[in-house]
Amino acid sequence: MPISAARDQEPDIGARALSVLNHVFGLPGFRGAQEQIIRHVAEGGNCLVLMPTGGGKSMCYQLPSLLRDGCGVVVSPLIALMRDQVAGLVEAGVNAAVLNSTLSYEEANEVERRLLAGDLDLLYVAPERLLTPRCLNLLGQANIALFAIDEAHCVSQWGHDFRPEYIGLSALAERFPDVPRIALTATADAMTRKEIAERLSLTDAPQFVASFDRPNIRYEIVDKQNAVTQLKNVIAERHAGDAGVVYCLSRAKVEDVASALSDAGITALPYHAGLDAGVRARNQDRFLNEDGIVIVATIAFGMGIDKPDVRFVAHLDLPKSIEAYYQETGRAGRDGKPSTAWMAYGLSDIVQQRRMIDESTGSDAFKRVSIGKLDALVALAETVHCRRQRLLGYFGETRDTGSCGNCDNCLTPPKVRDGKVLAQKLLSCVYRTGQRFGAMHLIDVLVGRLTERVQQFNHDKLSVFGIGRELNEKQWRAVLRQLVAMGHLRADSEAFNALKLTDSARGVLKGETAVMLREQPEGARNRAVRGKSRRGELAPASGAHSAAANPALHAALRAWRSEVARERGVPAYVVLHDSTIDGIAAVRPGTLNELRGIAGIGDKKLEHYGDQLLTLVRTTDG
Ligand code: ADP
Ligand code: ZN
């Protein structure tokens, strides 16, 4: 019998919700606004939910679906996500199913039959499937508890994940006016939020906006030297044996980085659209199901990946916007344990992204918005203040505390110096050489290097030749990058990335505009390496294997979980979350009742695994 039909007559929705949370999901209490949202939806209200990744959005529609009559229909764009969520729900004893293109005709028929028979609590449907006349008719005949539109930002044409099939979802409001709609997303600046509300007819519905802070994620943005070597150091020093995602812009780079990491003894697998579908699926499955795999991917990877124990996300190329950066880094540490978001960034990243925007076929308005978004991201990369504060500020959240204590700038405040004279030297050099040269040549002139090119153009005869000997090449690169980021210089993509002065450069040259520069440490050291010497300070106490309590039991539980996951063909975390394993190892329960008290153990898990787990605890020493 579906859980929704089995509900008792208890009048208070809050009490019923809590009871389902305890018994079905094995969780002791609600998080943040969950309770408020669940109550609102269970009572038939529409709403828009904005919560960061890992905030617990799924519960906001899963639980009301169980509380209300009928089946909750979840629109979700990615097959992997649907599959894993359904696997997790079925493990918890919920009657959940999925309708998508992976099903055979017979399988799909069986799901449809169960829906009409009132035998389903939750049904996950891909948007393009949902909008077929056949499916809409089917839903018209069924008893629907609610529609949940997950990843709702996909409806936004300005967003970074626009999916044309999402546009059609506006039909739901007209066709099913009495069924509550809950739209959820982890990405929403004000503009996207407004667009979601308009397109899904939610302009009158309340918006529940959770704090977007992810306190367990440590943000680090370093100056790019040799990104792969820097990344290898980060992994070796702080994330050996951890699961991670590495993002690169191109397929070729994905392949190169994956093989470089493999050569360094790291289990790294590539993932991009150019791979054979079978290989891609296998790599994704290994990442999900095995421990400690690093996946190197283009941005196509990750949406709908629910893996809770990703310990680091690394960017070797600049994402397109803060939304994209936040969503991608947000895939780290869904389980709330310490995790790292690390990015290496340099001048070429800004130039490359600008070029991609310039060369795109979008309208002028689209390009303008894209450039604004890129500028905001570059400002985040350049800031000498708290990164978290910047990120949250971008999403409209203000916090009064100056320092978060968990980003690179807060942990190791960068030195800032008055860069007026340096900026003037560089900008004059650009001017005197005719605004026709790129970074390399400009720096050669500044430090007085007599290269062939310098001689060819007689640039050793200019007054700016050798006026910048006080900095080395690397330091000048950093100055240059910051001037581009501040908008005083612009790389002209039509002239081989020659650097040109912008209007604002005049103010700097005249000494009217102040320029504060982040000081680049001397020599070849970079901040990734500096992390090493300050290890205690910068390294989070993470590690997927940080078995604080009872390491042997911890290891035995993990081995047991892998075995069960393999047998059942589900990801390990669907069997038990890391935090549940930590809990069992710490508590060492001796009875079913004690086991029941651990977060993540609901009625069904207790019934299925209780005895096995107790035996494991009893027979394993500390
Ligand atoms: P989102 O979809 O917002 O990224 P999920 O719904 O996947 O997040 O939830 C993230 C994690 O938080 C999951 O592991 C989930 O089990 C856990 N979680 C959700 N709600 C609660 C709660 N009330 N108490 C404890 N853990 C929770
Ligand atoms: Zn900070």
pLDDT, position 303:
63
User: If you average pLDDT over every residue of the chain, what do you get?
Assistant: 88
* Confidence (pLDDT) at 526: 41
CB 516 within 8 A of CB 418: yes
pLDDT of residue 189: 74
**3-209 matches 547-619 in fold:** no
Ligand 1 proximal residues by C-beta, below 6 Å: 27, 30-31, 34, 51, 53-59, 306, 308, 334, 577
- State whether residue 619 is helix, strand or coil: helix
User: According to the model, what pLDDT value does residue 37 have?
Assistant: 97
Of ligand 1's atoms, which has the minimum distance to the CA of residue 28? Answer: 24
Phi, psi of 510 (to 5 degrees): -80, -5
Q: Return the amino acid letter for 388.
A: R
| Ligand 1 atom at shortest distance from the alpha carbon of 579 | 14
* Residues 273, 300 contacting (CB under 8 angstroms): yes
- For ligand 1, atom 17, the nearest C-alpha belongs to 56
Rounded to an integer, what distance in angstroms lies between the CA atom of residue 618 and that of residue 610? 12
CB burial string 44-55: b at 16+ within 10 A, e below? ebbbbbbbbbbb
Q: Which CATH number fits domain 3-209: 3.40.640.10, 3.90.550.10, 3.40.190.10, 3.40.50.300?
A: 3.40.50.300
What is the architecture of the domain spanning 547-619?
Answer: Orthogonal Bundle (1.10)
Amino acid 192: pLDDT: 85
pLDDT of 523 reads 41
Asked if residue 543 has pLDDT above 60, the reply is no
- In tens, the pLDDT along 63-120 reads 999 999 999 999 998 777 788 889 999 999 999 999 988 889 999 999 999 999 999 9
Q: Which two tokens stand for residue 42?
A: 């269970």
Q: Is the pLDDT of residue 539 over 70?
A: no
Q: To test the ligand 1 pocket, which listed residue (23, 31, 212) has its Cβ within 8 A of the most ligand atoms?
A: 31
Alpha-carbon dihedral 5, 10, 12, 18, rounded to 10 degrees: -70
Least confident of 20-24, 284-288, 420-424, 465-469: 284-288
Q: Which helix (H) or strand (E) holds 573?
A: helix 572-575
Q: Which residue has the tokens 């209200």?
A: 45
CA 281 to chain centre: 20
Say what the pLDDT of residue 212 is. 85
Instruction: Kindly state which CATH superfamily the domain 217-411 is placed in.
Output: P-loop containing nucleotide triphosphate hydrolases (3.40.50.300)
Q: Is the pLDDT of residue 538 over 50?
A: no
Measured in degrees and rounded to the nearest 5, phi and psi for residue 342 equal -120, 135
Percent of the chain with pLDDT over 90: 62
- Tens of pLDDT along 551-598? 889 889 989 998 998 888 888 888 998 889 989 998 899 999 999 989
pLDDT band (50, 70, 90) for residue 488: very high
Of 398-402, 513-517, 528-532, the one with minimum mean pLDDT is 528-532
Nearest partner of 312 among 203, 230, 234, 259, judged by Cα = 234
Which whole number is the average pLDDT over 266-279? 94
Residue 546 has pLDDT above 70, yes or no: no
CATH 2.30.30.280 for the 416-519 domain, yes or no? no
What H or E segment, with its residue span, contains residue 498? strand 498-501
Pick from 285, 329, 286: nearest CA to 311: 329
**459 CA → ligand 1 middle, Å:** 61
Q: Where are the domains of the chain?
A: 3-209, 217-411, 416-519, 547-619
Average pLDDT over residues 30-52: 94
Tokens of 196: 């979601």
Smallest CA separation from ligand 1 atom 9, residue: 56
Please report the pLDDT score of residue 520 as a whole number.
Answer: 65
Mean predicted confidence (pLDDT) in 221-241: 94
Residues with CB under 5 A from ligand 2 (ion): 386, 388, 404, 407, 410
